[in-house]
Amino acid sequence: MIEHPAYTVEPWCLRETELNLSVLAQSESVFALANGHVGWRGNLEEGPHGLPGSYLNGVHELQPLPYAEAGYGYPESGQTMINVTDGKVVRLLVDDEPFDPRYGELTSHQRVLDFRGGVLRRTAEWTSPTDRRVRITSTRLVSFTQRAVAAVHYEVEPLDGAASLVLQSELVANEQLPGGGEDPRAAAAAVSRLSPEQNFAQGTRLRLVHHTERSRLRVAAAADHIVDGPEGTVTSAESEPDVSRLTVAAKVAKGQRLRLVKFVSHGWSARRSLPEVHDQVDAALALARSTGWAGLLAEQRRYLDDFWAGADVEVHGDARIQQAVRFGLFHVLQAAARGEERAIPAKGLTGTGYDGHSFWDIESFVLPVLTYTAPQAVAPVLRWRHATLPTALERARQLGLQGSAFPWRTITGEECSGYWPAGTAAFHVNADIADAVLRYVGATGDEEFEKGPGLDLLVHTARLWRSLGHHDTEGVFHIDGVTGPDEYSALGRDNLYTNLMAQQNLRAAAETAVRHPRRARELGVDDEEAASWRDAADRMAVPFSDVLGVHEQSAGFTRLESWDFDGTGPEKYPLMLHYPYFDLYRKQVIKQADLVLAMQTRPDAFTAQEKARNFAYYEPMTVRDSSLSACTQAVLAAETGHLRLAYAYLGEAALMDLENLEHNTRDGLHIASLAGTWIALVKGFGGMRRQGTSVAFAPRLPEQLSRLCFTVMLRQQALRVEVTGTEARYTVLGGRPLDVFHHGEPVALTPSETVELPLPPAPSQPEPRQPPGREPASARKS
């Protein structure tokens, strides 16, 4: 999409200069607005729609998971995020002709997603089939400061004489949705409709209340309006079970305008009564109306000014990457800012891809970015995991294990994956949650969280590893029959990523229990249990091939048959849609970075030479059929001296959705890959790694970039890092000193003083090859 001439490359916005109906669904995803609680896809107010979408975080419907043969421990019910009541709809009739870009002549059309203002602006000029010309402008927002509220400012101006204009502002439930096709990454088939409970229209106010049939969630939406039109403008309101409508009619002369400001509030509950829920949305609506349109705009700008002050990344040398990293950061913030103890779906609130489920990539890709840019959004996500702990404990007991078994994919905490080798067996999600706890506490110093939800999560995940693994006759601790991040390998012995992350989890649980002995006793942790954790960690199996001199992704992996890459044409990717998993599981072919991710998350477990050899070995068999892979490969490519390759992987991660590289942007954005743009820049070319409660940097730039500047939040203050081709500059913008590392050397930073340090040369290594035709997307194009 971004390469289409309709899309411009600008540093602080995404601009579309003409309407292309053939990519309407994709554009609706990239122009989506959200705040972590409410999500509105970038649908045209009047239609047509590629995929209508209004979402509330956590609102879902249940559906059975059918199996050809029943099996003990199989999840019985799935969860699917659903389209709730649509408050975006504003229809326009010009002299009785509905405004529809498919009819008449659309002489101009522009949409702008403003990263600093947090709004979507739209301007169109249209000549109706009866030759009446009008200009339509709209601006919409989903508020970061009033989490239940969204709003639209809509204006129509006749351009060639008086026109009879009618606006129909609606709340619409049960919109018709297209099917998701055969791609398993798309949402499941449409689920049951919302059942109506209340409809209301009076004056300029509208309300609809529905409930889901199986999950029994009550969903409400309300709207109020301010109408500004010429003398004689009239309004009327009407309502029925699935539609509540305000109609505005006016005779508008050339040079006059008809304006409508629409305030919308959304709410839901699994427990509140119907009166309580409609009172909830009415109250939110009253606050929005009292704030006013100008007030909402001002609040939105102030919120984003604060965010960008601690999160912005400046890139010199590639305007596309500059735009893409801000686009990514903006959407990552939208996915999480006001989630407030709800999950972050893999597609955020931009579409129903992956059924709206949350996966391990939230803790491993999205939370690392938020921890250092918007840390206030991280603790609520981890508290959501903590709130689902009883379900995870019960799931572990069902599996015959101790501790907690967190789900592979979920909305509410129950496992929703019907394919257990890639779901139940992917136990590493437990260590990923523990890793997110350690990262958050280390970056913020939030001791209250550490000794409360943090310790709970660390202890119960540690108990899982001690229960899941075992010591062999020589005392080595093994974890067998698990699936690591690479979903083309399943049920392996001693997956290295899983083992190293479990090792960190076990040690951290023991150390944190010592720091908070009273809380540890409340959890039943005694000296013997903590010692067993430390012992398992110290004796953890680390598969290594002495013959090849590389670590093994899992024990015996390097002895598997190699995949026939030369015989696999480009039309056969992604492999999971063209080959049986049985064939993938028994060969050396990797869907996404696995052992390479372990080198990023546990850099202390490898020497520099081991990292270089490992990266070179696994690169030719990693096909990147997952959007999670490119950013990780960028980080390790940069660390091992392959800066050109790292830059190419950065481009793939950054443009995953803007160029629709996986052909499923229509179902929503890849939030983890958008976060991966920051990861590739800051952890890749900035060389940032967590080192205890501090951070280390080892920056180097590829020749394509002349300057990289980013800000990270550490212990409630900002650290600014500026990298050029020859040196790095570190400046603490807060009031306290910070200690960091620069290419392995400790550096003491004092407030408001810039420290300049030279960059050592990058190591020289032969650049590894990729599977035929699977070079990074940007490299294939060049």
Placement of tokens 């496992």 in the chain: 415
252, 230 in Cβ contact below 8 A?
A: yes
Q: What is the bridge-based pairing of β-strands 105-114 and 258-269?
A: unpaired
Query: CA triplet 183, 184, 188: central angle to 5 degrees?
Result: 105
**Which residues 6+ apart lie within 8 Å of 663 measured at CB?**
none
DSSP-derived secondary structure letter, 642: -
What's phi and psi for 736, nearest 5 deg? -130, 155
Q: Could you write out the DSSP letters of every residue in 714-727?
A: ETTEEEEEEEESSE
Q: Kindly state the tokens that stand for 135.
A: 């200009």
Q: Kindly state the tokens that stand for 320.
A: 């596309």
* 240 included as an active-site residue: no
Q: How far apart are CA 18 and CA 106, in angstroms?
A: 9
CA end-to-end span of the chain, whole Å?
17
Query: CA triplet 320, 324, 326: central angle to 5 degrees?
Result: 125
Q: What is the bridge-based pairing of β-strands 313-316 and 707-714?
A: antiparallel
**Which residues 6+ apart lie within 8 Å of 604 measured at CB?**
none
232, 250 in Cβ contact below 8 A?
A: yes
Q: How far apart are CA 190 and CA 782, in angstroms?
A: 41
Q: Kindly state the tokens that stand for 202.
A: 């009076």
Placement of tokens 């012995």 in the chain: 493
Q: What is the bridge-based pairing of β-strands 33-34 and 38-40?
A: antiparallel
470, 477 in Cβ contact below 8 A?
A: yes
> Among 27, 61, 118, 658, which Cα is nearest to 338's?
118
90, 301 in Cβ contact below 8 A?
A: no
Torsion of CA 298, 303, 305, 309, to 10 degrees: 170
Q: How far apart are CA 27 and CA 21, in angstroms?
A: 9
Distances (CA, A) of 487 to 49, 491, 493, 500, 718: 34, 10, 14, 18, 37
**Which residues 6+ apart lie within 8 Å of 357 measured at CB?**
79, 81, 345, 346, 409, 410, 411, 416
Q: How many CB atoms lie within 10 A of CB 132?
A: 20
Q: Kindly state the tokens that stand for 173.
A: 């439930």
Q: Which residues pair with 708 in a beta bridge?
A: 315, 723
19, 333 in Cβ contact below 8 A?
A: no
Q: Which of 170, 299, 363, 487 is catalytic?
A: 487
Distances (CA, A) of 344 to 133, 332, 358, 466, 600: 44, 9, 6, 29, 23
Q: Could you write out the DSSP letters of every residue in 612-641?
A: HHHHHHHGGGB---STTHHHHHHHHHHHTT
Amino acid 197 reads E
Q: How far apart are CA 336 and CA 380, in angstroms?
A: 9
Beta-sheet strand order (sheet of 54-56): 33-34, 38-40, 54-56
Q: What is the CA radius of gyration of the chain?
A: 27
Point out the residues that are catalytic: 487
